[in-house]
Chains A and B, each alone.
Chain A
Amino acid sequence: MAEEIRAELAAIVWKVVVSEGDRVEDGDILVILESMKMDIPVLAEATGRVIELAVHEGDVIGEGDLIATVE
């Protein structure tokens, strides 16, 4: 089952930690967002494979924007 990981807040994508195709486990850091001088790691919520990575480092994203899809 594909799981869409979406942004919980407006932020800047500081670091993309994984690549498309990577295997990730529940709780692994996918990307690190920065908002208002705070780092916000975005975690995988299930074990699986990153089938889509929708953001690049430096992107500005809004609340609800797609970050990645894990299957």
Chain B
Amino acid sequence: MFETVLIANRGEIAVRIIETCRRMQIKSVAVYSQADSHSLHVRMADEALLIGPADPAQSYLDVARVLEAARISGAQAIHPGYGFLAESAAAAARFVQEGLVWVGPSALAIATMSDKIAARNAVAAVGVPVLPGSDKAVSDVDAAAVQAGRLGYPVTLKAAVGGGGLGVAVVADEAALRAAFGPVRDRAERVFGAHGMLVERHLPRVRHIEVQILGLTDGRILALGERDCSVQRRHQKLSEETPAPGLSDETREALGRAARQAAEVVDFTGAGTVEFLLDPATGEFVFIEMNARLQVEHPITELVTGIDLVEQQLRIAAGEPPSFDADNPLPVHGHAVEARIYAEDAERFRPGPGKITAWREPKGEGIRVDAGYGRRDQVVPYYDPLLAKVAAWGPDRPAALDRLRHALGRFRIEGPANNVRFFAELLDDPAYASGEYDTGIVARLRPDL
């Protein structure tokens, strides 16, 4: 196992990775920007190195600076977390070229899967059902309109490379497509540095279900259960739960099989997630994309399986077998649900950075909090708004939801805006409580947005 691991990230995910390193007696090295000098991940790590100014392009996204920090600290491996460099095939290749271990899949697997069109074509070729869409990137509005006309409106316009719900728009007709195309493409270019767009059929009333997979060093791909991520605003997840409510065993197995097939196409190693849209009426599903990295919502899988996914990532990267018996399916115990606490208001989800003047995390049986901040920390406008994740485990879904409700009622945050109150409404919503909800649930709770 590695002696020293550098974590090329910040916030809650850097803190979470440091915790596993500590438990495994691996020295953790944090990197940070000037805006993060006093951040929690810097305070938690065994060693911390300043790598640049607040602008992520000159710090967390700068491969040369991260490499230099790895050399100075003597790190043997780089854990990218999620976001920033995690899905950069170029970064993964470069680190490996420089003799470091990349805690993640091969650069080739990342390159295929981070391009949504390449990914879709690759998995369709082995028989995984895919969402109908353009089979190559479109770069101008007329080509997009041709594709949309073929697919039928409404369609989703999406950056071919990217994630986190950025650079996505659903359009109802050609006029809306023509109005949205330029801004969405510009946004994608600015955030992801790529301008190819993808046009997909938009399916209303579907559920967003993803399967956690783990590719072992012996080539086996394990499916570690699914997560329902249908609670989204701005195409970005707000809350997730596992198991997905109301799935038949047959559908669950079919999802796991499709996810393994998708991962096998690229000889996937390490932790990843295969995302699907599922029609709750029929149980039919289509592949939308694969995330070749650790997912934000991985804690709920950890809560129901009892395994540490970051530990498995490190073990696989070090060429070791997983910590559990891979020959027997992992038993799933109970139910887990997560709320993403963002620095944005609970009504319109508008960001509101600021200094944290009060911070008290809830504690209790079955409650897990992954936080990137604490009292007196400054939430700055440069980075994503995730402050913390509150996850609750219970022996069944009502118990887990009840624990989450109580935990959120005890979470005290003052200073920046926060969306804690939104989840009280969500948990009280009859459709959510019954488990019969879909990706339209937030729009129904906030019809004016």
Chain A residues at the B interface, C-beta cutoff of 8 Å: 8-12, 14, 34-40, 60, 63
Contact = CB atoms under 8 A, between A and B. Distances in A.
24 contacts: A9-B350, A9-B351, A9-B352, A9-B381, A10-B353, A10-B354, A10-B381, A14-B190, A34-B381, A35-B351, A36-B342, A36-B343, A36-B344, A36-B351, A36-B353, A36-B385, A37-B164, A37-B191, A37-B383, A37-B384, A38-B234, A38-B351, A38-B385, A39-B187
B380 interface: yes
B187 A12 contact: no
Contacts of B382: 12
A12 B55 CA distance: 10
Nearest to B83: A37
A29 B342 CA distance: 26
Nearest to B191: A37
Contacts of A37: 164, 166, 191, 383-385
**Interface residues of chain A: helix, strand, loop or mixed (majority):** strand
A38 B342 CA distance: 12
B179 to A, nearest CB: 14
B161 to A, nearest CB: 16
Contacts of B352: 9
A24 to B, nearest CB: 19
A16 to B, nearest CB: 15
A60 B384 CA distance: 16
Given A36-B342, A36-B385, 6 more contacts: A10-B354, A12-B382, A14-B190, A35-B381, A36-B353, A37-B166
A39 B187 CA distance: 9
Contacts of A14: 190
A8 B351 CA distance: 10
A11 B381 contact: yes
Nearest to A34: B381
Contacts of B354: 10, 63
Interface string B224-259: 000000000010000000000000000000000000
Q: Shortest 7 CB-CB distances between A and B: which pairs? A: A36-B385, A36-B351, A35-B381, A10-B353, A35-B351, A11-B381, A10-B381
Contacts of B187: 39
A37 B353 CA distance: 12
Nearest to B378: A10
Nearest to A33: B381
Contacts of B351: 9, 35-36, 38, 40
B187 to A, nearest CB: 7
A35 to B, nearest CB: 4
A3 B383 CA distance: 31
Contacts of B385: 36-38
Interface in B135-169: 164, 166
